[in-house]
C-alpha cells in the first residue's frame, strides 16, 4: 500500500469510527505502519482533531522515533498524543500494521468499572476467555505506551482501565472491525446481565 492509499484508508476508518459513535468528541486515534523508501513509517491521526474531521491533508507521518516527516504549511498538525503507544506496539509486534484506540461508550464503561468483557466467537482465535486489562497510566505518557505495548505482544485487543480500548491487527481493517466487535460484545454482555438480573428478581418475588 502506497502513501496515498494509506492516507485514504486512515481517513475512511477514522470517519467511520466517529459515525458509529466509537470515538466521541475529539477522542480516539488511528494509525497504520507502512514502508516508504525502504524505511518503516507510521501514519497517525493528528492531535486535537475529531476523527470526523480527519482527512488526507491533516494526517501526520512519523518515523519509528516519532519524528514528523511531512511538516508543511498545509499540515502543521502534531501527531496524536498517543503516538508513542502506537510506535511501541509496532516495535514489539512485527505482525501488527494497524491500530485503533477508541472510547466506545459501553466497552469503556466496562473499563472504568473494571468489569471483564468476555471474548466471544466471531473474531479470530480466542486466546483468553476475557479481554485483558491494562493498568491505568496517564494518557499520552511513556508509562501507558509501555503498558499497552507489553500487553499487546500476544494479544490483539486490550481494555485500558479508566480509559478505553486499543485494538490491533495485521491491517487496519482487522483493527477497526475488532474494536467495533468488542463494543457490540460489551452491549450483548450488558443486556444479558440486566435481563438475567431481572429474571432473578422476578423469580424471588414469586417465591415470597
pLDDT digits (tens, 9 = 90+) for 137-185: 999 999 999 999 999 999 999 999 999 999 999 999 999 999 999 999 9
Contact predicate 185/117, CB 8 Å = yes
* CA separation, residue 91 to residues 56, 101, 123 (Å): 25, 17, 24
* Burial zone of 151 (CB within 10 Å; 0-12 exposed, 13-18 middle, 19+ buried): buried
Beta bridge partner(s), residue 98: 32, 169
Per-residue pLDDT, averaged over 17-28, amounts to 98
**How far is 62 from 184, CA to CA, in rounded Å?**
32
Q: Which residue has the cell 492531535?
A: 47
Beta strands in the chain (DSSP E): 29-36, 39-44, 60-63, 98-102, 133-134, 157-160, 164-169
The architecture of the domain spanning 3-207 is 3-Layer(aba) Sandwich (3.40)
> Is 143 annotated as catalytic?
no
pLDDT at 196 over 80: yes
As given in the structure block, the three cell numbers for residue 28 are 480516539
Average pLDDT (98-111) is 98
Q: Which of 71, 74, 82, 114 is catalytic?
A: 82
The pLDDT assigned to 146 comes to 98
Q: What pLDDT is stored for residue 201 in this prediction?
A: 53
| pLDDT (0 to 100) of residue 204 | 44
28-42, 89-103, 113-127, 161-175: which has the minimum mean pLDDT?
Answer: 113-127
Q: What is the mean pLDDT of the chain?
A: 92
Tens of pLDDT, residue by residue over 47-86, are 999 999 999 999 999 999 999 998 775 778 999 999 999 9
Bridge partners (DSSP) of residue 62 are 42, 68
Amino acid at each position: 500500500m502506497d502513501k496515498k492509499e494509506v492516507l485514504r484508508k486512515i481517513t475512511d476508518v477514522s470517519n467511520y469510527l466517529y459515525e458509529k459513535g466509537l470515538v466521541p468528541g475529539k477522542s480516539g486515534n488511528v494509525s497504520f505502519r507502512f514502508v516508504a523508501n525502504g524505511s518503516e513509517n507510521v501514519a497517525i491521526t493528528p492531535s486535537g482533531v475529531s476523527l470526523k474531521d480527519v482527512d488526507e491533508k491533516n494526517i501526520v507521518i512519523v518515523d519509528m522515533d516519532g519524528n514528523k516527516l511531512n511538516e508543511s504549511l498545509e499540515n502543521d498538525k502534531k501527531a496524536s498524543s498517543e503516538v508513542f503507544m502506537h510506535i511501541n506496539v509496532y516495535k514489539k509486534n512485527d505482525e501488527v500494521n494497524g491500530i485503533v484506540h477508541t472510547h466506545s461508550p459501553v466497552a469503556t464503561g466496562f473499563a472504568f468499572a473494571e468489569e471483564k468483557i468476555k471474548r466471544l466467537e466471531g473474531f479470530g482465535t480466542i486466546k483468553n476467555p476475557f479481554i485483558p486489562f491494562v493498568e491505568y497510566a496517564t494518557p499520552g505518557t511513556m508509562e501507558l505506551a509501555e503498558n499497552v505495548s507489553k500487553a499487546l505482544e500476544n494479544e490483539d485487543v486490550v481494555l485500558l482501565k479508566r480509559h478505553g480500548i486499543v485494538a490491533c491487527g495485521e491491517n487496519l481493517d482487522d483493527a477497526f472491525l475488532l474494536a467495533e466487535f468488542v463494543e457490540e460484545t460489551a452491549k450483548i454482555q450488558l443486556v444479558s446481565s440486566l435481563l438475567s438480573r431481572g429474571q432473578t428478581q422476578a423469580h424471588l418475588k414469586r417465591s415470597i
